[in-house]
Structure 1
Amino acid sequence: MSRREDRQTVASGLLFGCGIAAALIDLFIFHLVLQWHHFYDLSTTGVALLADGFFHAVAWFITVWGLFLLAGVRSRHRVHWGRWSGAVIAGVGFFQLFDAVVNHKILGIHQVRYVVGLLPYDVAWIGSAILLALVGLWVLRRASRN
């Protein structure tokens, strides 16, 4: 596998992981099922739902973009599934970390959950994000040796 195809494999996994984290984990579980927050909670419910719709569209666009990159690599060469899987796990962690730091803390457009004590939710969200990112990077590194 060439360096270009390896980069595309990793980029595909990262995009797919970010998209799945956004569309399935964050949006589906936290926005729709648990109804803990919306993408933008600083306005009316109508604005929050509209923001969720745009967020959903972007999340699926990123997911499909990752799959198209994967299809491109797969059409030219055998995919190194270990590297791709590591990149997916890292992508989930990186999305979650970005969401926690930028959206929750810097911009303050939503929190994990609106309760009096945010600290346990922040620790769980950020801690799991860091853990997923590190596991994904470890899998990527380990797969590159094989």
Structure 2
Amino acid sequence: MRAAGARSGVLVGIGTVAFVDETVFHQLLHWHHFYDRSTPTVGLVSDGIFHAVGWFALVAGLFWFAALRRTEALRPRRWVGGLLTGAGGFQLYDGTVQHKLLRLHQIRYDVDLLPYDLTWDLVAVLLVAVGVLLLVRTPSRRRGAARA
């Protein structure tokens, strides 16, 4: 169960960023859909699938979190490190693979994308860096705990 806390945090981070992305950029601002290379109806369906996958990741991560707390295996700093790594990793994947390589969608349309892309990717890299730092600097076990 050593890395379970980090993995639980990663799932919650992915689910949280997916939720924020879908809610803010897809629904509230109407900047894009998950898949913009077809009709608006296909875009809405793709948003629904994206939202469901993000929701399942979040719920699975929270169930795992509850199990870690119940068994007293939770290391909060490792969990937060996993959360930040998952959130930033997903955002970096979205900004590089989905936006640029696959061109499923862009952050916005009909504007200069450079400031948006830089902000998106720099925030992602910052989240990953802080998350990895927490993971590296936090022991995976409590001091004095029995070794398995």
Per-residue CA distance 1:90-146 (angstroms, 9 max, x = gap): 111001001111110111010011133111111111111011110111122232288
For the residue of structure 2 that corresponds to 1:17, the secondary structure is: helix
Matching residue of 1:135? 130
Matching residue of 2:8? 12
TM-score (norm 1): 0.91
TM-score (norm 2): 0.89
Matching residue of 1:126? 121
What's the offset of the Cα at 1:41? 0.5
1:78 to 1:8, Cα distance in 2 relative to 1, 3 A: closer
1:1-146 counterparts in 2 under 5 A?
5-23=1-19, 25-144=20-139
1-structure distance, mates of 2:104, 2:73: 42
1-structure distance, mates of 2:102, 2:112: 19
Q: Extract unaligned runs of 5+ from structure 2.
A: 143-148
Identity %: 46
Give runs of ≥4 in structure 1 deviating > 4 Å. none
More helix by share: 1
For the aligned residue pairs, the C-alpha RMSD in angstroms reads: 1.4
User: How many pairs align?
Assistant: 141
Q: Which has the larger radius of gyration?
A: 2
Q: Extract unaligned runs of 5+ from structure 1.
A: none
